[in-house]
Amino acid sequence: MPAINVTLKSGASKEELDKAKSHVQEQGGKITNEFTLIKGFTAEFPEDKVHTLSTNDHITVEADSEVKTQ
Protein backbone atom coordinates (compact mmCIF):
# COMPACT_ATOMS: atom_id res chain seq x y z
CA MET A 1 0.00 0.00 0.00
CA PRO A 2 1.30 3.48 -0.79
CA ALA A 3 1.94 5.94 2.03
CA ILE A 4 0.00 9.20 2.12
CA ASN A 5 0.20 12.33 4.24
CA VAL A 6 -3.05 13.78 5.52
CA THR A 7 -3.04 17.29 6.98
CA LEU A 8 -5.81 19.46 8.34
CA LYS A 9 -6.58 22.60 6.33
CA SER A 10 -6.51 25.99 8.02
CA GLY A 11 -9.67 26.69 9.98
CA ALA A 12 -10.81 23.06 10.12
CA SER A 13 -11.61 21.52 13.49
CA LYS A 14 -9.70 18.70 15.17
CA GLU A 15 -12.84 16.57 14.80
CA GLU A 16 -12.27 16.59 11.02
CA LEU A 17 -8.83 15.07 11.57
CA ASP A 18 -10.34 12.41 13.84
CA LYS A 19 -12.90 11.62 11.13
CA ALA A 20 -10.10 11.24 8.58
CA LYS A 21 -8.25 8.83 10.89
CA SER A 22 -11.39 6.75 11.33
CA HIS A 23 -11.97 6.75 7.57
CA VAL A 24 -8.44 5.47 6.91
CA GLN A 25 -8.92 2.60 9.34
CA GLU A 26 -12.41 1.75 8.06
CA GLN A 27 -11.07 1.52 4.49
CA GLY A 28 -8.29 -0.91 5.46
CA GLY A 29 -5.50 1.61 5.97
CA LYS A 30 -3.02 1.90 8.81
CA ILE A 31 -1.81 5.10 10.48
CA THR A 32 1.99 4.90 10.67
CA ASN A 33 2.94 8.31 12.06
CA GLU A 34 1.17 11.23 13.72
CA PHE A 35 2.66 14.71 13.34
CA THR A 36 3.29 16.93 16.34
CA LEU A 37 4.08 20.31 14.76
CA ILE A 38 1.15 20.27 12.34
CA LYS A 39 -2.23 18.58 12.58
CA GLY A 40 -1.90 15.48 10.46
CA PHE A 41 -0.62 11.97 10.00
CA THR A 42 0.97 9.52 7.58
CA ALA A 43 -0.90 6.36 6.68
CA GLU A 44 -0.53 3.32 4.48
CA PHE A 45 -3.73 3.41 2.47
CA PRO A 46 -5.11 1.33 -0.42
CA GLU A 47 -4.40 3.23 -3.65
CA ASP A 48 -7.86 2.50 -5.04
CA LYS A 49 -9.48 4.13 -1.97
CA VAL A 50 -7.50 7.40 -1.84
CA HIS A 51 -10.21 9.22 -3.80
CA THR A 52 -12.67 8.53 -0.96
CA LEU A 53 -10.40 10.41 1.43
CA SER A 54 -9.41 13.23 -0.91
CA THR A 55 -13.05 14.34 -1.33
CA ASN A 56 -13.01 15.69 2.25
CA ASP A 57 -12.90 19.51 2.01
CA HIS A 58 -11.23 19.87 5.43
CA ILE A 59 -8.03 17.93 4.74
CA THR A 60 -5.20 17.76 2.22
CA VAL A 61 -4.04 14.37 0.93
CA GLU A 62 -0.59 13.98 -0.63
CA ALA A 63 1.64 11.07 -1.51
CA ASP A 64 4.38 10.61 1.09
CA SER A 65 7.80 11.28 -0.37
CA GLU A 66 11.32 12.16 0.65
CA VAL A 67 11.99 15.85 1.19
CA LYS A 68 15.52 17.23 0.70
CA THR A 69 17.03 20.58 1.52
CA GLN A 70 19.80 22.16 -0.48
CA distance 58 to 12: 6
Residue 59's pLDDT is 95
pLDDT the model gives residue 70? 79
pTM, 2 dp: 0.87
What pLDDT is stored for residue 23 in this prediction? 95
Q: What does the domain layout of the chain look like in residue ranges?
A: 3-63
Domain spanning 3-63: CATH 3.40.830.10: no
Please tell me the predicted confidence (pLDDT) of residue 1: 84
Q: Splitting the chain (70 residues) into consecutive groups of 10 residues, what average pLDDT does each group show?
A: 93 94 95 94 92 91 86
